[in-house]
Structure 1
Amino acid sequence: MASGNQTTEVYVYEQVVILISCALSFLGSILITCTYIIWTDLRTRPRKLLMFLSIADLLSAISYSYGVGKIFQSNSWDCILQGAISTFANTSSFFWTVAIAIYLYIFIVKSNQRLADSLMLWFHIISWGVPLGITVAAVCLQKIGYDASEVSVGWCWISIQASDHVLWMLLTGKIWEFLAYLTLPVLYILIKKHIHRAHAALSEYRPILANSNVSQSRSSMADRKMTLIPIIFIALRIWSTLRFLLMLADSPARQSPLLVTLHGIGNTFQGAANCIMFVLFTKPVRSRLLSIICCCRRHTVHRSSDTSIQESPSVDTPPARQEDASPRGWSEAC
């Protein structure tokens, strides 16, 4: 079981690809957080949970980008710090992902919003507290450190020199990853079945509803998201799980460049994937973002046209004209 711990080489192109994935995840997590803060009418409970998940994914992206950018070679202080942050953030991300599924299950299937809302405190205690406790224990017992990219891509995690490194790899991530693989598909399948039964019960009334097409479009989009959430989670995380199993079997296939690259992308792209699903593929949020972009573009064109008029020697522009292009006037127009 990983007897001859030969360092897995991380190539430059792998670094570049994974750093791009980290940057996209960073931007995606920031965008999810900003949309929740800026637009108060979008502050639903599920989006609040999604924001906390995005904070965990943001920490993961930052810590992983530092690790893959540096490619650690020893148990340095920044290796241990990076390993601790990524361990905490990655484990917290698992818990928040499952917490969202549990909340939606209770809210939609059990039709008990009061119970779902009452679990918010427990979600915080478990999703922040358990990863923090595990990480602190791992640091205090000197389990976090250089792992020769056995089950990482340049960053630090559990020290490969620790005699019980497999146990700590399970405690600091893999066991929660396995539980998420089992829990997420079951919960979302139950939610989908409940939604389908509700749609079937109302199907005979759809022809007389004035906005039936809009309602059907929204429900189909929600239905696709219910399907995509566990699929995307598993598709991103399965590569790290596969490398972990290959390490247990002491297989050299765990050092395959393709597998290493997929592992790096999977561990770092979660924030970007959530942004694509819940921001770019969500019409109310997407429409507002597009309106802001269009407004900014009109403002830029307006400013450039005013500048060209002011610089023209044949036109004497009045001073009052300059106020039309001010940020205050633009913000009021938006």
Structure 2
Amino acid sequence: MASGNQTVLYLSEQVVVLISCALSCLGSSLIILTFVVWSDLRTTPRRLLVYLSLSDWLSAVSYAFGVWRAFVADSPECVVQGAISTFANTSSFFWTVAIAVYLYVFIVRSSQRVADSLVLFFHLVSWGVPLAITVAAVCLNKIGYDASEVSVGWCWVSIHAPDRVLWMLLTGKIWEFLAYLTLPILYILIKRHIHVAHAALSEYRPILANRPPTHSFSSMADMKLTLIPIIFIVLRIWSTVRFVLLLAGSPARQNPVLVTLHGIGNTSQGAANCIMFVLFTQPIRTRLCAALCCCGRCRGEGWHAHDDPHRLLPGQDTSTLREEDSTSRVRTDK
């Protein structure tokens, strides 16, 4: 299965990881597109999510190129791909934690002003630190072919670097470990604060309204607060397992199943964020469905108009057509 330290990358593994990369690119693009198209969604938390999506998109593209090429030696393309994926992947860690910190300050500390003031700091850290680390690694010739020891065809820290474990930590693993610790703690504190607030509010519910309260939105938000750190850990843990096996000198890190899970986990963050913050968010999901239905209706109307632009349905007069047209315009404006 492997020759020396080199992990053989099978075609099936390449196909699965490339599909994961494509889904992540699509998911990240959809998050960015919804932010651009609908101005009322441009809140600060969703803006932070867009920055995270930019990192995930760049990471998925660079990983896809590396998996497709399946590098077998050092080359300029290998170094460029490794540098881009190192920067994007590390930046993704920082933006993921930045969103959790923002929500903690905003919800638990109840200070939107302080939370908004942290955005500039988030930019400096989430872009600046990964860029500085990546530039240093490239200048010191630490980025290159790593024989897929802790990757899936793409380049990362060169296998020839005598201090490659140290640079693996600096270019990703240490930030990954910190995220494992930080995210669960922050989201547990946020959930605890929300539950305490709901318990306090329940004392006044009998005198606030007679109709029973709906818990659909609060339960969905509660589920997301639970899933965010869990999904992050589930996706990233396979990379960590292979890194630990590398430190232990175990050949188990070359197991095809583990390699495939590693490839899927490292490239699926954009798709996972899209599912949680677009497809599982009812207002955005409703708008997307309306937009898709509108596009389908317009396409169908275009085909009918091409056949006969003045043709009416049986029993339909021109006043009815004008009324339907005005109604559709009102719905579109909404």
TM-score (norm 1): 0.91
Q: Distance in 2 between matches of 1:158 and 1:182?
A: 24
When residues 126 and 331 of structure 1 are mapped into structure 2, their CA distance, relative to the original with a 3 A threshold, is farther
Summarize the alignment of residues 1-334 of structure 1 with structure 2, pairs less than 5 Å apart: 5-207=4-206, 208-209=208-209, 213-214=213-214, 216-309=215-308, 334=332
**Unpaired runs of at least 5, structure 2:** 312-321, 323-327
Q: Deviations over 1:19-54 (max 9, x none)?
A: 110001001111111111111111111101000000
Q: Deviations over 1:203-259 (max 9, x none)?
A: 133354367544x21111100000000000000000000000001111111001100
C-alpha RMSD of matched pairs (Å): 1.9
Contact 1:192 1:223 in 2 (8 A): yes
Q: What's the % identity of the aligned pairs?
A: 68
Q: Distance in 2 between matches of 1:232 and 1:101?
A: 14
- Amino acid aligned to 1:267: N
Q: Distance in 2 between matches of 1:285 and 1:302?
A: 25
Q: Distance in 2 between matches of 1:219 and 1:41?
A: 20
Q: Deviations over 1:104-159 (max 9, x none)?
A: 00000010111111111100000000000000000000000000000000000000
- Amino acid aligned to 2:274: C
Contact 1:239 1:259 in 2 (8 A): yes
- Amino acid aligned to 1:21: S
Contact 1:107 1:116 in 2 (8 A): yes
Q: Distance in 2 between matches of 1:92 and 1:42?
A: 23
Contact 1:206 1:212 in 2 (8 A): no
Q: Distance in 2 between matches of 1:210 and 1:26?
A: 47
TM-score (norm 2): 0.91
Q: CA deviation at 1:5?
A: 4.4
Q: Deviations over 1:286-315 (max 9, x none)?
A: 1111100010111111122223336x9xxx
Q: Distance in 2 between matches of 1:191 and 1:5?
A: 47
Q: Distance in 1 between matches of 2:45 and 2:5?
A: 44
**Unpaired runs of at least 5, structure 1:** 313-323, 325-329
Aligned residues: 315
- Amino acid aligned to 2:85: S
- Amino acid aligned to 2:77: D
When residues 212 and 41 of structure 1 are mapped into structure 2, their CA distance, relative to the original with a 3 A threshold, is farther
Q: Distance in 1 between matches of 2:203 and 2:25?
A: 46
